[in-house]
Structure 1
Amino acid sequence: MMNDTATDDEFYRAPDVDAYSLPGKLLRRRSVPTPSLPGAHRAWQLVYATRTSRKAPIPASGIVIAAGPISTTDKAPILLYCPVFRGLGGAAAASQLLTRDESEPETEFISSALERGWTVAVPDGQGMGLRGLGAHPFLAGRAAAHAVLDLARATLRLPEMLAAEAPCAAWGYADGGRAAVWAAELQPDYAPELDLRGIAAGAVIADPGSLAADVDGGPLAGLTLAGLIGLARAYTHLPVEHLITAEGRRAIEQAQTMTAAEVITTFEQTPLGAWCERPDPWNDPLWRYVLANETAGHGTPHARVHLYHGTQDMLVPVAMGRGLFAEYRTRGVDLSWREYNTGHAQTAIDGAREAISRLASYLRSPRLTRPPFTDPLTN
């Protein structure tokens, strides 16, 4: 499954990465303009080494935006901004859109961080941006977390920034919130050297299996096909494509280079059972295993966490966010929760002010240190 980002720019040709390339190693960088981004002083597109869900080496791309000259950004906090789902391929990578005179859907949120003097690092996600890496592993939590955490490492190593000791935080909404949550859960073991002070995550897709069942066959049915493709990409070591029909393989071939909008429009109202040998492929034992592994809340963040959700969210049910909050609370996470009486899109806007205020507070506070979580029921 190959990915064409619809760009001939050689910068986005995926370089070879071997097992000796440390995660976060800078492989390529260049200074770029960000004409549509208020508050930006200077920006760099990066290609860096990261790891797949199975920890195999892979390159990824992203963008780092400085709010001011080096004299004012030395050790400035770094915000890892995790974008919403952009697609399985296509020309929708944030590191590309932010350098063009066209609308980047999350410009306002990124600008709000730049206004505080923070450096903002935005990962494209594996399979987005760079050519020839296959479809983006949508809904694969570990892949998303690795891309986020390794971009933090790459940003700290960027010679122009002099930011080797800067604290960082992460922020995202929906699938971006999922990436932020997974990054917080994996950071203590995967990137313990990072000074991750906290995260803010809204409408977190904590349980992909439940979400897939809710949207399958409806206006957003294309997201279930995208999830099938993304998770199959992440779990290539398992025979996860055993249920897909010949017609389904043709649909996958068509969808794997599409943006999110194209996937949703093309496969609207089409149930996943149309591409599989059974109407409920998520209930196949192998897929139940995959989805169980992709449920958030298995790890314990050692950073502060702010979760928020809309009570009228018709895409990601508020019960999903409440469940993650409850799980983190049992694990002793330093935690806050906010509900908004609005739907999915409006909550992203309404929740932004408090999210960035919480992040500012976390970045001013000392780094949390705590022992790994121990379940009292097993000891």
Structure 2
Amino acid sequence: MRDLLKRGWLVAVPDYEGPGASYCAGLQAAHATLDGIRAVLASASDIGYIQKNASRVAMWGYSGGAFATGFAYEQIASYAPDLLGSVVGAVVGGPAPNLTTVAQAMNKRDTAGLVVASIMGVTAQQPVARQYLVSRLKAEGQYNATAWLAVAKMSGVDALAAYSMQDVYEYFVGGETDVWHPIVQEVIDRDAVMGVDRGKLAAGVPLFVYKAVQDEMSPVKETDDLVAGYCERGATVLYHRNLLGGHNDELWSGRLRTLQFLEHVLDGKKSENLTVPEAGKCVIQDVSVPLDVLELLPDWWWGRR
């Protein structure tokens, strides 16, 4: 955020999960993100900080943040058509388009806590699915209902520590079958899968997608298919498939390219290293961007006095 502020941009960070911790609930994430933009434009213009009708807005998220940004991008035209003149770009980094496959990939690893948080989050506002899940939790033993439900009051870091390396299916009487029961799966398919045709896309809003081909949390093919689907629907997409590194590496390896993209759409500053396609066009590129440890230093550090 400090890198963005250094460029003179106003930065807003939405609480897109809401008070119920609806982690991975896609439509809420989209609506909260877009409502947040509306709120910033309204309040900032009221005090004369920006001109509401002349403002240029871009969205950026990585991993879980990419989930919110991606859903918001998909919902602009249908949910927030009033923002079509303001939103000039979106960035989706390290996306995990399908919660089901992501959860299966992260289980039994140091990321298992995010599986617990996501299953609880996506059912937070779905009482039938939530009631079913709770009814299938074990009452006794190490993996019991109390331990599972404790995630509701944990931060992401806390959840990662509490459930690290666990098999989350052990919490349920019927194991994996309970977690992916049709009652739950229907909710996930409806609200936690990106790229589902829920209405017209904002084809004129350029989208930058970047992903590590060796991403260990979400198969790159799912992102390939996501981008292909966007392109078939007339979207404007620049997609970088990084042949180097994994999920966490790309968080940093993609940062400078993202800043170049944002400078292009917000300030009209073009980069020799990154070309934004013409409206309605898609450019898919394999790139080899290594993780440079110096990239871990934010660019404001280099300009400090």
Equivalent residue, structure 2, for 1:107: none
Equivalent residue, structure 2, for 1:193: 82
After TM superposition, give the deviation of residue 180 of structure 1 in Å.
Answer: 0.6
Equivalent residue, structure 1, for 2:301: none
Determine the C-alpha separation between the residues in 1 that align with 2:40 and 2:148. 34
Structure 2: tracts of 5 or more residues without a match: 269-277, 281-305
| 1:124 aligned to which of 15, 30, 33 | 15
| 1:296 aligned to which of 194, 198, 202 | 194
- Asked if the contact 2:61–2:91 (Cα under 8 Å) also holds between the matched residues in 1, the reply is yes
Normalised by the length of structure 2, the TM-score is 0.77
Distance 1:237 1:282, change over 3 A: closer
Q: Deviations over 1:169-228 (max 9, x none)?
A: 100100101111100111111111112111011111110011011112222111111111
Which one scores higher on RCO, CA 8 angstroms, separation ≥ 6? 2
1:144 and 2:29 are equivalent in the alignment: yes
Instruction: Spell out the pairing of 1:1-379 with structure 2 (5 A cutoff).
Output: 110-127=1-18, 133-134=19-20, 136-158=21-43, 159-160=46-47, 161-165=49-53, 166-194=55-83, 195-236=86-127, 238=129, 239-241=131-133, 242-246=135-139, 248-280=144-176, 281-293=178-190, 294-299=192-197, 300-302=200-202, 303-340=205-242, 341-363=244-266
Q: What is the percentage of aligned positions where both structures have the same residue? A: 25
Normalised by the length of structure 1, the TM-score is 0.62
Determine the C-alpha separation between the residues in 1 that align with 2:165 and 2:149. 19
Moved over 6 A (4+): none
Determine the C-alpha separation between the residues in 1 that align with 2:95 and 2:240. 13
One-letter amino acid matched to 1:363: L
Distance 1:369 1:352, change over 3 A: closer
**SS of residue in 2 equivalent to 1:213:** helix
After TM superposition, give the deviation of residue 284 of structure 1 in Å.
Answer: 0.9
Equivalent residue, structure 2, for 1:88: none
After TM superposition, give the deviation of residue 240 of structure 1 in Å.
Answer: 4.2
One-letter amino acid matched to 1:164: K
Determine the C-alpha separation between the residues in 1 that align with 2:253 and 2:187. 34
Determine the C-alpha separation between the residues in 2 that align with 1:185 and 1:315. 22
**SS of residue in 2 equivalent to 1:151:** helix
Structure 1: tracts of 5 or more residues without a match: 1-109, 128-132, 371-379
- Asked if the contact 2:17–2:23 (Cα under 8 Å) also holds between the matched residues in 1, the reply is no
One-letter amino acid matched to 1:347: E
Which is richer in helix?
2
Equivalent residue, structure 2, for 1:4: none
Determine the C-alpha separation between the residues in 2 that align with 1:301 and 1:289. 23
After TM superposition, give the deviation of residue 364 of structure 1 in Å.
Answer: 5.2
- Asked if the contact 2:70–2:92 (Cα under 8 Å) also holds between the matched residues in 1, the reply is yes
Q: Number of paired residues?
A: 253
Determine the C-alpha separation between the residues in 2 that align with 1:147 and 1:307. 21
- Asked if the contact 2:138–2:173 (Cα under 8 Å) also holds between the matched residues in 1, the reply is yes
- Asked if the contact 2:172–2:179 (Cα under 8 Å) also holds between the matched residues in 1, the reply is no
Q: Deviations over 1:116-162 (max 9, x none)?
A: 221111113333xxxxx33x111111111112111101101113334
**SS of residue in 2 equivalent to 1:309:** strand
**SS of residue in 2 equivalent to 1:123:** coil
Which is richer in strand?
1
